[in-house]
Amino acid sequence: MGLAACSVIAIAIAFIPGVGAQAREHEEPGLIEKAPPPKPINYDKLTQEAVALLQHYVRINTTNPPGSELDAAKLLKEKFLADGIPATVWEPAPGRGIVAARLRGIGRHNKALVLLSHMDVVPANPKEWQVPPFSAQIRDGEIWGRGTLDDKGPGVIELMAMLALKRAGVLLDRDVIFLATGDEEEGGKIGAAWMVEHEAGIFGDAHYLLNEGGGIMSRPNGRKYYAVSLSEKTPLWLRLTATGEAGHAAVPPAKTAVTRLVAALDRLAAYGAPIRVVNPVRDYFRAIAQLDGGPPEFANLATALRDDDFANKFVAVPRQNALVRDTFTPTVLTGSQKTNIIPASASAEIDSRLLPGDNPQQVIANLRKVIADDGIKIDVMLNFSAQSSPRKSELMTAIGKLAAAENTVVVPMMIAGFTDSHYFRQAGLDAYGFIPIEASTAEARGVHGLNERIGVKELGAGVRRMIDLLKLMGTRE
């Protein structure tokens, strides 16, 4: 058998759940004690390497649609292989990519940890940016480019932490699996969903997953906290279609497809969904009250929101409103192709986000009453059930220890958006949203916005914290 064939088989075996663990059960007693002590990590050099990798990664345009993540997946795969970490790439559709790698540990019974990120990015208009969005320029100590925060920067942090542990000879007591998917920005059907359906064996021995969805936050008084997402709102993307008689715009009828649609959207915009406080939101605001020293209403938010004056002030803040009720946001409008033609149909796409536990069919039934036009068709474009992860777990304990090392606390929360975590929660993993970096307010606005960027120092700090977190998750008690 040739060397190349042996390498392929070795890579394949490294990904088979249980194979690594079974092999380690037959290791010579005392082998771990005989292992040399870990080498020191040069964090300055590690940061420089992370910066160079992120720049290369950002310059691969993976705007979705169409995605085209395959070249990015190959880049990450080669980075792992260069350090002797088994990695492989899948192409679930032409030009689309997924990459996985596994850092072997010496644990016999501990479940593996998955580090998840996505390679695709949202569009960026170069005319609106201060720098070309795929140039990865460094300005004022920051790397600028689409994906630096969402989600290529976090992916580099995860990857570099695994390489650093491998190079230093740190033996973790569990395997760590790196997984970078595509198509997250369009719902994940050709990414995480495909992986769960077709290659679930890759993470079949895992119990925990760490993904985007949280990070290190600061309050106005300067106090910091580790925000960890346990739950997410679920999407109910809808298309509303109104019909009417087509004709010349110079002689309009009393109602057209467009005017019917506009009237429906006007009623939808005026609709305020019922307020409901789910447990992660309750706990989040209770913790914020402790960090800020108030307001006292946050200590028992559900009760406070029964007061109309307080409720009106609370929901006037968009983010707070999104955490306590379903939201319905019109985003895409389609009508006539010409100014002087009345179209036979007009449609609007609605980005609806539901609180965990809400019944999508009941929500649609309520919207039909709100719209008050039986002739408007409602189609579901995207929906899946909401899933949550437990507040207490090994991973949450490790994140708590990491936070304590920086003299701060962990605050569990629910995010108003959604990530690929739900696919893995449905597959039985406890998934948490947390990337150990702190973004300034200006930097955070770049996510899905203009001039996205990440600080060079914070990228390095994120790698260091991720290394520490993996050690905490992989330390033998």
pLDDT in tens, 139-187: 999 999 999 999 999 999 999 999 999 999 999 999 999 999 999 999 9
pLDDT at 24 over 50: no
pLDDT at 27 over 80: no
Contacts 24+ apart (CB under 8 A), 363-366: 363/236, 363/326, 364/236, 364/238
**Mean pLDDT along residues 452-461:** 98
Adjacent-strand bridge partners of 226:
216, 410
Task: Tell me the domain boundaries of the chain.
Answer: 39-229+387-474, 233-383
Instruction: Answer whether the bond into residue 65 is a cis peptide, omega within 30°.
Output: yes
Q: Give residue 34's pLDDT band: very low, low, confident or very high (50, 70, 90).
A: low
Kindly tell me the burial class for residue 128, based on how many C-beta atoms sit within 10 Å of its own C-beta (0-12, 13-18, 19 or more): exposed
Nearest Cα to 213, choosing from 230, 195, 237? Answer: 230
Q: Give residue 10's pLDDT band: very low, low, confident or very high (50, 70, 90).
A: very low
Helices (DSSP H) in 148-273: which residue ranges?
A: 152-168, 192-198, 257-270
CATH 2.60.40.2240 correct for 233-383: no
**Whole-number pLDDT of residue 14:** 52
Give the Cα separation of 154 and 87 in Å (integer): 18
Give the pair of three-digit tokens for residue 447: 């996510």
Give the Cα separation of 153 and 182 in Å (integer): 15
**Whole-number pLDDT of residue 413:** 95
CB atoms within 10 A of CB 369: 9
Q: What percent of the chain has pLDDT over 70?
A: 92
pLDDT at 16 over 70: no
**Whole-number pLDDT of residue 385:** 84
Dihedral sign for Cα atoms in the order 284, 425, 188, 474? positive
Reported as a single tens digit per residue, the pLDDT across 365-400 is 999 999 999 999 999 999 988 889 999 999 999 999
Do residues 352 and 236 lie in contact, with contact meaning Cβ atoms separated by under 8 Å? Answer: yes
pLDDT at 277 over 80: yes
Give the pair of three-digit tokens for residue 56: 């290369």
Adjacent-strand bridge partners of 346:
242
Give the Cα separation of 282 and 363 in Å (integer): 23
CATH 3.40.630.10 correct for 39-229+387-474: yes
CB atoms within 10 A of CB 405: 11
Count Cα atoms within 13 angstroms, Cβ side, for 75: 22
Q: Give residue 335's pLDDT band: very low, low, confident or very high (50, 70, 90).
A: very high
**Mean pLDDT along residues 92-110:** 93
Do residues 210 and 115 lie in contact, with contact meaning Cβ atoms separated by under 8 Å? Answer: yes
Nearest Cα to 136, choosing from 241, 53, 68? Answer: 53
More confident residue, 22 or 76: 76
Nearest Cα to 373, choosing from 274, 269, 270, 265? Answer: 265
Instruction: Kindly give the pairing relationship between strand 176-181 and strand 112-118.
Output: parallel
Give the Cα separation of 430 and 412 in Å (integer): 14
Kindly tell me the burial class for residue 297, based on how many C-beta atoms sit within 10 Å of its own C-beta (0-12, 13-18, 19 or more): middle
**Whole-number pLDDT of residue 36:** 83
Give the Cα separation of 125 and 452 in Å (integer): 12
Instruction: Kindly give the pairing relationship between strand 112-118 and strand 206-211.
Output: parallel
Count Cα atoms within 13 angstroms, Cβ side, for 298: 17
Dihedral sign for Cα atoms in the order 439, 443, 445, 447? negative
Cα 174 to chain centroid, rounded:
24
Which residue has 């307020």 as its token pair? 275
Q: Give residue 405's pLDDT band: very low, low, confident or very high (50, 70, 90).
A: very high
- The DSSP symbol for 39 reads P
**Whole-number pLDDT of residue 6:** 38
**Whole-number pLDDT of residue 386:** 82
pLDDT at 32 over 60: no
**Mean pLDDT along residues 300-325:** 97
pLDDT at 430 over 70: yes
Give the pair of three-digit tokens for residue 133: 């969005």
Reported as a single tens digit per residue, the pLDDT across 119-151 is 999 999 999 999 999 999 999 999 999 999 999
Beta strand extents in 335-458 (DSSP E only): 341-342, 345-354, 377-383, 409-415, 430-433, 453-455
pLDDT at 15 over 60: no
pLDDT at 267 over 70: yes
Give the Cα separation of 112 and 325 in Å (integer): 36
- The DSSP symbol for 273 reads P
